[in-house]
Amino acid sequence: MAQLWGGRFQGATDRSAYEFNASIRFDQRLYKEDIEGSIAHAAMLGRQGILSASERDSIIEGLKQLKSDIESGAVSITDEYEDIHSFVESVLTERIGEAGKKLHTGRSRNDQVALDMKLYTRNQLKITDQALKELLQTILSIMEEHTETYMPGFTHLQKAQPVTLAHHLGAYFEMFYRDRDRLKDIEKRMNTCPLGAGALAGTTYDLDRDYTAELLLFDGGPTRNSMDSVSDRDYLIEFLSALSLIMMHLSRFSEEVIIWNSNEYRFVEIDDRYATGSSIMPQKKNPDIAELVRGKTGRVYGALVSLLTTMKGIPLAYDKDMQEDKELSFDAMDTARNCIREFCGMLQTMKFRKDLMEESAKKGFTNATDAADYLVKKGVPFRDAHSIVGRLVLKGIEEGKALDDLTLEEFRKESGAFEEDIYEAISLKTCVEKRLTFGAPGPERMREVIDVYRKML
């Protein structure tokens, strides 16, 4: 059991207690960050004269070689070490001798792990942001093709008013763009370096924390309070919150894809690469990717609630409870990234049934509001117009007709204000095109918004 402490202990740690306490099983994924932070720390110690030039160079070269050996598979990270920090320091010392024992001068595992998690989270922020950018580009390309693809807009999952596919997808563009904005905000706020904070009270060594922060690309410089430095996980909670919002948006979109893919709607056809079949029913083509994205949303929520619950009762400064910040966070980061990627692939290959979308909008009486507005423009009070069109809708439901299918005589039976131009007034093209307020589905306005989106990306 390789560990970095034990001088004041007379007995060995119980094996099961050691395994319960150890984190190497999951924190080994931080090896790059741990080595990157250690190289910066050694460079700073050398600059300050705390290490000799030869000690500094030996440590830095040894760390670089260790990273290379891990990545090539020449060295394996094993569970004989308590954590990734023990592994890196122990293997380094085995390789370069006494100089390796000086690497930990002026730091603690507390500020070391705080640094590792910040570096790792910062990198995951960038990876997630790039995945969202690709998703937004996919959404935008579909919008550009479908500014005049008519479909029903819904409220209460009931057909409400006609919109276009471009307009509908534009709502998701807005959601995922806000998600990218949140990631940028989190990165800006977390961009301070905790290394040099020590266990909780800094150190008596003459460290240059500004230099370390500069080497590690922390634009905000070093953290300002050493106790907060080692006990802060706000940035991770914020990231998990942002991932939860991303997953919520993906889940809403997935729900619509699942509905649209059903035999009752058939608005979309999911490519075979992103669907599965049934072991017993030959006809099935299931939207499993969309369903899994919807299901995995709860998994990411769980990581957020878990960390919030862990942190709520922890006194200053560092406590071992905080080791629980890793496993579920790593899983949430992996899950969200994979969900964005798979959903994007599914969306890129999906076919949209324009004919069935338009037919559904017509059969769903989505032009009823426009029929009422038509009467209002003819001088009929809105409440009366609402009632008149309601009766026409009821007639259409009973006879299996859309409003467009009713004869002028049937219209005039309910109100003499109806004239031949009613058919032009309630055509889906007219209903959509006359909605010209900024942000509405009219094709002219949609093209303006698409230009804005293109610039935003």
Q: 197 with 111: CB under 8 angstroms? A: yes
Q: Both tokens of residue 73?
A: 């598979």
Q: 92 with 63: CB under 8 angstroms? A: yes
Q: Which residues are catalytic?
A: 156, 278
User: Using CA atoms, how far apart are residues 168 and 324, in angstroms rounded to an integer?
Assistant: 40
Q: 438 with 445: CB under 8 angstroms? A: yes
Q: What is the pLDDT of residue 17?
A: 79
For the chain, first and last CA: distance in Å? Answer: 51
Q: Is the pTM of this model over 0.85?
A: yes
Where along the chain do the CATH 1.10.40.30 domains lie? 359-456
Q: 411 with 417: CB under 8 angstroms? A: no
Q: How many degrees, rounded to 5, is the angle at CA 305 between CA 302 and CA 308? A: 145
State the DSSP code for 29. G
Which regions in the chain score pLDDT beneath 70?
Answer: 1-11, 13
User: Using CA atoms, how far apart are residues 37 and 49, in angstroms rounded to an integer?
Assistant: 18
User: Strand, coil or helix: what is 154?
Assistant: strand
Q: In CATH, what number does 359-456 get?
A: 1.10.40.30
User: Using CA atoms, how far apart are residues 283 and 273, in angstroms rounded to an integer?
Assistant: 16
Residue spans of beta strands (DSSP E) within 271-401: 351-352
Q: Give helix 165-190 / helix 234-261 axis angle, nearest 10°.
A: 170
Query: CA nearest 193: which of 175, 170, 220, 232?
Result: 220
Where along the chain do the CATH 1.20.200.10 domains lie? 110-148+172-204+229-354
Domain 15-105 has CATH 3.90.78.10: no
Q: Both tokens of residue 63?
A: 């760390």
Q: What is the pLDDT of residue 111?
A: 97
Where along the chain do the CATH 1.10.275.10 domains lie? 15-105
Other C-beta atoms lying within 10 Å of the C-beta of residue 68: 12
Q: Please identify, in words, the CATH class of the domain defined by 110-148+172-204+229-354.
A: mainly alpha
Residue identified by tokens 């007379």 is: 10
User: Using CA atoms, how far apart are residues 75 and 52, in angstroms rounded to an integer?
Assistant: 28
Q: What is the pLDDT of residue 14?
A: 73
User: Strand, coil or helix: what is 153?
Assistant: strand
Q: 222 with 209: CB under 8 angstroms? A: yes
Query: CA nearest 160: which of 361, 357, 358, 359?
Result: 361
Query: CA nearest 4: which of 107, 145, 95, 75?
Result: 107
pLDDT tens digits, residue range 174-183?
999 999 999 9
Q: What is the pLDDT of residue 106?
A: 97
Phi-psi category of residue 277: left, alpha or beta, with phi > 0 → left and psi -120 to 50 → alpha: beta
Q: Give helix 443-456 / helix 165-190 axis angle, nearest 10°.
A: 20
